[in-house]
Amino acid sequence: NAGVMQNPRHLVRRRGQEARLRCSPMKGHSHVYWYRQLPEEGLKFMVYLQKENIIDESGMPKERFSAEFPKEGPSILRIQQVVRGDSAAYFCASSPQNNYGYTFGSGTRLTVV
Amino acid sequence: RKEVEQDPGPFNVPEGATVAFNCTYSNSASQSFFWYRQDCRKEPKLLMSVYSSGNEDGRFTAQLNRASQYISLLIRDSKLSDSATYLCVVNTGFGNEKLTFGTGTRLTIIP
């Protein structure tokens, strides 16, 4: 049973480009959470999704960031017109239920140059 | 005041020593508490949950003081493999999205 799969592991984008981060939850998990970890900072909650629904996006920046979890395929975190401040590690986690423990993926490290 | 505060360290401790980490949280309505471990450039992994009665898992002991809003982690007989960043995590609600992570305490075990 594969764990939470994130890809790519490393992503380099120039300022102004778009970044797409993918997360495939563990088999049987329908709840997905995205977190961002800036250098020397703790993980910050961004968004919580179930299949085809955004449940809580209170941690998402108001502009340029969006997330989806379609009926088929992985969850996608999309960052448009990236800026240097978007450079961070982005972690995805999944769980079978919302109040159940979850498992993190290995993360995507985004570097904006 | 941060929701979850930890001493960032670093703690440099000789192998075999005992080390203790502290964490305070600001929201008195917090429901559940955890310690996670994060190795360099890796994802966080659950180390243990923290209960009011205190709990132990091998060399690791976690304590919770609700009155003082304080959580601790004690590592006895430390091993080189214990070198990592330890994250204090507090859940202010009933869902996973309410988990708040501290910035972590970095521990290095010295041979």
* pLDDT tens, residue by residue, A13-47: 999 999 999 999 999 889 999 999 998 788 999 99
Optimal mutation site among A21, A97, A99, interface B, most CBs of chain B within 10 A: A99
| Distance (Å, whole) CA B7 – CA A32 | 30
Instruction: Examine the pLDDT at B8 and tell me if it is beyond 90.
Output: no
Question: In chain A, whose CA is at the least distance from the CA of B92?
Answer: A99
Residue type, A69: F
Q: Residues A46-97: pLDDT tens digits?
A: 999 998 899 999 999 999 999 999 999 999 999 999 999 999 999 999 988 7
Cβ neighbors of A73 (< 8 A, separation 6 or more) are none
Task: Name the nearest CA neighbour of A25 among A46, A2, A8, A4.
Answer: A4
pLDDT attached to residue A39: 81
Cβ contacts (< 8 Å) between A101 and chain B: which residues? 46
Q: Is the pLDDT of residue A1 over 60?
A: no
How far apart CA B84 and CA B73 sit, in angstroms, is: 14
The string of pLDDT tens digits covering residues B99-110 is 899 999 999 999
Which residues of B fall below an 8 Å CB-CB distance to A?
4, 41-46, 87, 94-97, 99-104
Q: Is A34 on the interface with B (CB under 8 A)?
A: no
Chain B hits for A55, CB-CB cut-off 8 Å, are 97
Instruction: Answer whether A101 touches B (CB < 8 Å).
Output: yes
Residue B98: DSSP 8-state:
G
Contacts of A99 in chain B (CB under 8 A): 94-96
Give per-residue pLDDT as tens, B68-100.
Answer: 999 999 999 999 999 999 999 998 877 777 789
Question: For residue B4, which residues of chain A lie inside 8 Å, CB to CB?
Answer: 42
| Separation between Cα atoms, residue B52 and residue B62, nearest integer Å | 9
Per-residue confidence (pLDDT) for residue B52, from 0 to 100: 85
